[in-house]
Amino acid sequence: MTPRPQWGQPGRRLVNVAWASAVALLAIGALLAGRTELSYRSQAQRQAEVQADILAASVSAALAFDDSTAMREYLDALRVNRRLAAAAIYDAAGEAVVVFHRPGAAPPPAHIEVLSSRFSHRHVTVTRPVAQQGQRLGAVYLETLPEPWTSVLGRHSSLALLTVLAFLLLGVVTAAASQLQARARLLAEANDRLRQEMAARSAAEEALRQSQKMEALGQLTGGIAHDFNNLLQVVQGAFELIRRKADDTARVGTWAQNGIAAAERGASLTRQLLAFSRSQKLELRPFVVADLIGEMRELLVRTLGPDIKLSVELQEGRAMVMSDRTQLELAVLNLAINARDAMPAGGGLTIRTRLRSVPPGDPMLAAGEYVELSVADTGQGMSREVAERAFDPFFTTKGVGKGTGLGLSQVYGVARQAGGAAQIDSELGRGTVVRLMLLRSSAAADVAPGPGEPPPILAPAAGRTVLVVDDEAPVRALAAETLELLGYRVLQADSGAAALALLEREVPDLMLFDYAMPDMNGAELAGLVRARLPDVPIVFASGHADTAAVEAALGGQATILRKPFNMETLARIIAERLS
């Protein structure tokens, strides 16, 4: 479980900000109130001073000439000011001459020493000099009534308002923050739930993938077993016939041919599997597509059966492509089988080749000349969903044991490796067209052996010695017999150690190593042998699926003979390496 995020953080920050704002607001309010208070006080003081000054100016003559009646009159005139609490006039010696105070108010001091002006306890007390032309005559004293509380409150209403507002703000923000926190908590819980659900779903998907893999594996093994059983049936049948009627040389030849053909189809099947697993190195050679289709025609007719009419339209002339001939054959065969299965009640299959020019900017293909090979049937077609997945490996609509799900995937792989692409046009009830776009090649075509020709046995290099190292006795014996049949002298060893011991005594002209052997594999053996016999060519035989790994172990220049191999291939490669 990941650490839970700090959902409360933004809310708390908000509250802090609100608190700071409220405090700032209050501080500003207090400042403003202080200023207001100060200005009010100085103003009140100033007012009292002005009034005292007026009184002082008025009473100067009366004070100078000791006219207490006049002074009393002046003081009495001040009574109309309701804010005045007390007033007095002092002579030059500071003694009170005339005094007035309202009932309830304290009487003014009888004697004053110094002049003063102050604001205290909500009232102003001010003493001002009485002078005429610089001649100090005495002083006047004024005291105001305390300012009523209502007036003070009125003056500070703004502060009160600010305080109320600040607390209101705080309240609102705190409430909002707590609400936010509650929502954040809910969100966090929802998030946790979501995480759990995602984890559960992820686990479920993993389980589903696993079961799909198992299902695919089941389909694959089922399909392969079915195909292999058929092939083995043919091979076994052929050998049994040969054993029983070994004297009938003419028919033995035919049965042997059937057996060989079945074995070759088995080899094709494993090649198909390996090509699918992308470990099989394709043998890309230039050839004419029209030739290939022409040669396959008979096979296709037999595969499709009597109810399906095959028509072939070859329009591309002699255009060549660079591809693996066997793979392309397989692809066409796969397509024909699919078409046949799609037309249980019969129909028509059209194989067409033509030249296509792809302009620059095509989303699928690089610009250039292509040979389009299309296989069209008049079958039941397929739905959009099926068509979209048709090229996926292991995807099949056939029952278990009926197909591997690799056919169309192999078709797609062939097209890609020939520098092109494959596409399906299909609709339910409207048949299916599969198009392979193969990049046109300008290379010179290999001369293909004519159909039905007996395999040419290459001229044996008489007297040359070949060392065969293989841990599997039947395979080793077969290779040895084949090589002897071709005219070579053969040495045999069943392990790397035995081979090394044998090489102490005799040096062959060529060595054929099996790759996968216990204790010491072909690559290791080759490493040891090359140090001593650098000039003796080595050919590796491998049935290993991972050709790339074999190549990497042997170095790029190694010659690899893929199992199963036929006599012709073995003869050709041995002859090439010896020449």
Q: Which is nearer to other proteins, 56 or 273 (CB)?
A: 56
Q: Which is nearer to other proteins, 64 or 502 (CB)?
A: 64
67 binds other proteins (CB under 8 A): yes
Residue with tokens 């050919």: 539
DSSP string of 497-509?
HHHHHHHHH---S
Instruction: Kindly tell me which residue out of 70, 165, 260, 578 binds other proteins, with binding defined by CB under 8 A.
Output: 70
CB of 132 to other proteins, least distance (A): 4
Decide: 100 and 89 in contact? Cβ < 8 Å: no
CB of 134 to other proteins, least distance (A): 5
Number of residues in contact with other proteins under rule CB under 8 A: 13
CB of 133 to other proteins, least distance (A): 4
Q: Which is nearer to other proteins, 61 or 433 (CB)?
A: 61
61 binds other proteins (CB under 8 A): yes
Stretch that binds other proteins, among 55-63, 267-275, 350-358, 519-527 (CB under 8 A): 55-63
Helix ranges, 65-141 (H): 68-78
Can you read off the two tokens belonging to residue 420? 């092109």
For 324-402, list the strands marked E by DSSP.
347-358, 368-377
Q: Which is nearer to other proteins, 140 or 308 (CB)?
A: 140
SS3 424: strand
432 binds other proteins (CB under 8 A): no
Hey, how many other C-beta atoms are within 10 angstroms of the C-beta on 158? 13
- Cα-to-chain-centroid distance, residue 481: 57
For 359-488, list the strands marked E by DSSP.
368-377, 421-426, 432-441, 465-469
62 binds other proteins (CB under 8 A): yes
Q: What is the largest distance, in Å, between two alpha-carbon atoms of the chain?
A: 178
CB of 24 to other proteins, least distance (A): 57
Instruction: Kindly tell me which residue out of 66, 298, 313, 519 binds other proteins, with binding defined by CB under 8 A.
Output: 66
132 binds other proteins (CB under 8 A): yes
Q: Angle CA(507)–CA(511)–CA(513) in degrees, nearest 5?
A: 135
CB of 67 to other proteins, least distance (A): 5
Q: Which amino acid is at 314?
A: L
135 binds other proteins (CB under 8 A): yes
Alpha-carbon distances, residue 497 vs 62, 310, 513 (angstroms): 148, 57, 12
Q: Which amino acid is at 525?
A: L
Instruction: Kindly tell me which residue out of 120, 133, 150, 557 binds other proteins, with binding defined by CB under 8 A.
Output: 133
SS (H, E, C) 162-191: HHHHHHHHHHHHHHHHHHHHHHHHHHHHHH
Q: Which is nearer to other proteins, 132 or 233 (CB)?
A: 132
Site string for other proteins, 81-120 (x = CB under 8 A): ----------------------------------------
Binding positions for other proteins, rule: CB under 8 A: 58, 60-62, 64-67, 70, 132-135
